């Protein structure tokens, strides 16, 4: 089954949010840190399922979101999100990325949403005709407010959806997961519960060989959860538990390739580029596995030489990069 990455712009994130979860930030320190940003890509994925039709995993952002002001005006989101949080160049909008593959938005027959954060559901308004699958816990929390203020699902981003399909993970156990959901009845697309990043974050296992994690892991390096961790206030135990289950799945399926929504590392960049034609070549797969061997030991501990660090911009500005 072919799986195509869709590049839907990029987002500017604090390095500490991405990698600093073990550094003891308080929420206040984290929110006040405006000097250590990095840009990371935003990816959605299109699965060409033989009977369920073209299926999207996440939708990325929309031009209205990237323009920021009108879309978020009058809501708390206008203040929570930096004006330049998103960058959506021409050619990278959802309709343009689908057109590159010969599809129009109305051709999409189902959408799987890994979670309700804005950079994953911004283009959902294009798919009001389609059933939208998501973890039952995420659906149940759709009206929740994070920290009592910030809507988990910003209402304009989800308003077009009429056919919600909350996923119950009542299917077979796999890897470290005590349940799964066989979304299209043929075992090829399994939803797995990976909560923590959000209440019902869900990962998608395709053909038992490709795991799409959304933000349950930001990059392949986040597999080493005892050394590299996203900033995860309040939900840390469940976040760590989900990554341990992914580690277990990887031990059970040694050929598994893990692709996330925002993997900016050499690993993510090369494999996502390699998947452009819908399948990874043997050479890319071999390269990926050799990268993993050089990066992790057998218990998924990270080689210290690959611990991420923030590299400031040459001009002294706030946006550096991670090395």
Residues that bind Zn ion (CB under 5 A): 119, 215
> Quick one: 174 or 261, whose CB is closer to Zn ion?
261
Q: Which residue has the tokens 């003891």?
A: 24
Residues in contact with 18: Cβ distance below 8 Å, sequence separation at least 6, in sequence order: 38, 40, 218, 219, 230, 231, 262, 308, 322
CA 290 to chain centre: 24
In the bound complex, what is the minimum distance in angstroms from residue 180's beta carbon to Zn ion?
23
H helix or E strand, kind and range, residue 193: strand 189-193
Q: How far is the CB of 58 from Zn ion (least distance, A)?
A: 8
Element (H, E) at 72: helix 69-72
Q: Which two tokens stand for residue 270?
A: 């090369």
Structure tokens at 252: 């059970």
Cα–Cα–Cα angle for 25, 242, 291, rounded to 5 degrees = 85
Query: C-beta of 10: minimal distance to Zn ion in Å?
Result: 11
What is the smallest separation between the CB atom of 111 and Zn ion, expressed in angstroms? 16
Helix or strand holding residue 39 (H, E):
strand 37-49
CB of 255 to Zn ion, least distance (A): 26
> Which DSSP helix (H) or strand (E) runs through 288?
helix 282-295
| Residue 142 Cβ vs Zn ion, minimum distance, rounded to whole Å | 17
In contact, 43 and 261? CB cutoff 8 Å: yes
Beta bridge partners of 258: 211
Query: With respect to Zn ion, which residue has the nearer C-beta, 215 or 263?
Result: 215
């Amino acid at each position: 089954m072919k799986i195509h990455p869709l590049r839907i712009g990029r987002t500017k994130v604090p390095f500490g949010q991405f990698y600093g979860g073990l550094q003891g930030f308080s929420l206040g320190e984290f929110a006040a840190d405006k000097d250590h940003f990095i840009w990371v890509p935003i990816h959605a994925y299109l699965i060409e399922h033989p009977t369920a039709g073209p299926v999207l995993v996440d939708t990325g952002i929309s031009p209205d979101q990237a323009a920021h002001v009108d879309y978020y005006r009058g809501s708390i989101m206008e203040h929570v999100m930096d004006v330049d949080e998103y960058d959506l160049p021409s050619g990278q909008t959802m309709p343009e990325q689908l057109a590159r593959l010969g599809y129009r938005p109305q051709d999409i027959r189902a959408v799987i949403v890994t979670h309700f954060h804005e950079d994953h559901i911004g283009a959902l308004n294009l798919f009001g005709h389609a059933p939208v699958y998501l973890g039952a816990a995420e659906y149940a929390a759709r009206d929740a407010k994070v920290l009592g203020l910030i809507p988990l699902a910003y209402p304009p981003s989800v308003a077009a959806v009429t056919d919600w399909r909350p996923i119950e993970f009542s299917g077979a156990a796999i890897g470290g997961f005590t349940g799964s959901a066989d979304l299209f009845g043929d075992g090829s697309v399994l939803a797995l519960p990976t909560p923590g990043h959000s209440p019902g974050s869900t990962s998608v296992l395709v053909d038992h060989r490709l795991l799409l994690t959304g933000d349950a892991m930001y990059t392949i390096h986040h597999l080493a959860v005892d050394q590299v961790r996203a900033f995860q206030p309040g939900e840390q135990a469940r976040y760590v538990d989900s990554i341990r289950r992914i580690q277990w799945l990887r031990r059970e399926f040694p050929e598994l390739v893990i692709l996330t929504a925002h993997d900016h590392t050499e690993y993510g960049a090369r494999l996502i580029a390699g998947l452009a034609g819908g399948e990874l070549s043997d050479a890319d797969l071999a390269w990926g596995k050799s990268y993993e061997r050089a990066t992790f030991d057998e218990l998924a501990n990270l080689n210290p030489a690959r611990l991420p660090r923030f590299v400031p911009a040459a001009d002294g500005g706030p946006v550096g990069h991670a090395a």
